[in-house]
Structure 1
């Protein structure tokens, strides 16, 4: 495994490749995304413990969507079982992915705890306990402040886990080292990742304008809400699909194939 430095314009290419890959298997990839969301949502229904389980599952599910994208680029139809492919890659692979999930959950809770210092724990309470919003906290701007702090601190956490699941699964890197390598890759290719993020932002804004125009032309206000929701889900699916290409081009390897169980144990 070797880190690759790519030009900033590669960020636009990642978006393009993600969209193209999605439309090679749109039903399969959209379906897997909805299964991913449903799994996390169902797990989160259990107060406190459910949220922790959902957080710990995120790296595994994210790897599953990357593996599904890899299959789609080969012209294959990814099945639902691919979402847990990381847990089926032998005992060592499963253990490493579970450790990675635990690290993410701990990191996420740490960020929540820090945000609680700025809003009295309102945002953390809403997230973990699914409690209704405290109107007094909202009026005073405490909740917004806590959310802002959370978003700022969650960014480096997200970057650390951006490539980590794939590094653990496809390259056999240890969970802790994978976090370091992921951060380094994002930093060294920061130009490409900035272009990547800005391009997706422009795609989302363009879709919003199109939905608004359609709603105005049809004189149907409900079209705006339904259309915006549908476009957001579609764009999120394509965004998650494009993440595979950010990993593929940031690290060099002979072949990015799913390892055999006996090869990693």
Structure 2
């Protein structure tokens, strides 16, 4: 494994590759993403530990989408069984993925805890679904401060875990080293990741504008259908985004053949 430095324009290529790959297998990739999110949502039903377990499942869900995107890019159809790929790669990988999940949950809860020091836990309650979002709450200065603080703290957490699942799965690297290498790769390729983020922001805005027009028309005719379209589009965009992650991994490291020879449809 060798860290690779890529030009900033590569970030836009990652967006394009994600969109093309999703277009090659839209139903399979969208279904896999939906199953992953549905599984995490169901786990939150468990009292006390449910939300923590759901957070710990995110690295495994990310890995599932990375492997699924790799399958699609090789011309193969991803299957729902890939949802368990993190748990079917041997005891060592299983242990490493469980450790990653626990560390991610701990890091996220730490961020939520820090935000509670700013607004007394209002943002944390809203984010975790324990309290409804209202206009009055959203306009509170303390709530906004806690929100921006959480977003700022989540960025380094995201950088630590961005490549970590792929490094554990494809390179067999220990969790602590995977987090370190992920952080270094993101920092060294910050230009490409900024372009990647801006590219996806543009995609989201474009889809949002088109969706606003469509739902505006449908709302006047069939209001319930418009709401369903908004939810489905949001899920589809999220699936597209997660599909593109494997290409950031492929270009930031010298990957194994399974990822290195991706043939984009």
In the superposition, the TM-score normalised over structure 1's length comes to 0.89
Secondary structure (helix, strand or coil) at the match of 2:57 reads helix
Q: Deviations over 1:91-135 (max 9, x none)?
A: 111001101111101111111111111011222234457244699
Match of 2:246 among 236, 239, 244: 244
Flag the 1:71–1:219 CA change in 2: closer, same or farther, 3 A.
closer
Secondary structure (helix, strand or coil) at the match of 1:256 reads helix
In the alignment, which residue of structure 2 is the partner of 1:23?
A: 23
- Following the alignment from structure 2 to structure 1, what is the Cα–Cα distance between the partners of residues 227 and 81? 33
Q: Which is further off, 223-232 or 133-142?
A: 133-142
Q: Is the 8 A contact 2:29 2:69 kept in 1?
A: yes
In the alignment, which residue of structure 2 is the partner of 1:106?
A: 106
In the alignment, which residue of structure 2 is the partner of 1:59?
A: 59
What does residue range 11-50 of structure 1 map to in structure 2 within 5 Å?
11-50=11-50
Aligned length: 257
Q: Is the 8 A contact 1:47 1:130 kept in 2?
A: no
Flag the 1:81–1:33 CA change in 2: closer, same or farther, 3 A.
same
Gapped runs of 5+ residues in structure 2? 260-265
Shift of 1:32: 0.3
Q: Does 1:188 align with 2:188?
A: yes
Q: Is the 8 A contact 1:164 1:179 kept in 2?
A: yes
- Following the alignment from structure 1 to structure 2, what is the Cα–Cα distance between the partners of residues 55 and 218? 35
What does residue range 1-265 of structure 1 map to in structure 2 within 5 Å?
1-128=1-128, 130-132=130-132, 140-215=140-215, 220=220, 222=223, 225-256=227-258
Q: Which is further off, 116-125 or 185-194?
A: 116-125
In the superposition, the TM-score normalised over structure 2's length comes to 0.89
Flag the 1:213–1:128 CA change in 2: closer, same or farther, 3 A.
closer
Gapped runs of 5+ residues in structure 1? 258-265
Secondary structure (helix, strand or coil) at the match of 1:5 reads coil
Q: Is the 8 A contact 1:163 1:178 kept in 2?
A: yes
- Following the alignment from structure 2 to structure 1, what is the Cα–Cα distance between the partners of residues 20 and 133? 40
Q: Is the 8 A contact 2:219 2:226 kept in 1?
A: no
Q: Which is further off, 244-253 or 41-50?
A: 41-50
Q: Is the 8 A contact 2:218 2:226 kept in 1?
A: no
Q: Is the 8 A contact 1:43 1:50 kept in 2?
A: yes
Flag the 1:38–1:210 CA change in 2: closer, same or farther, 3 A.
same
RMSD value over aligned CA atoms?
2.2
- Following the alignment from structure 2 to structure 1, what is the Cα–Cα distance between the partners of residues 181 and 103? 15
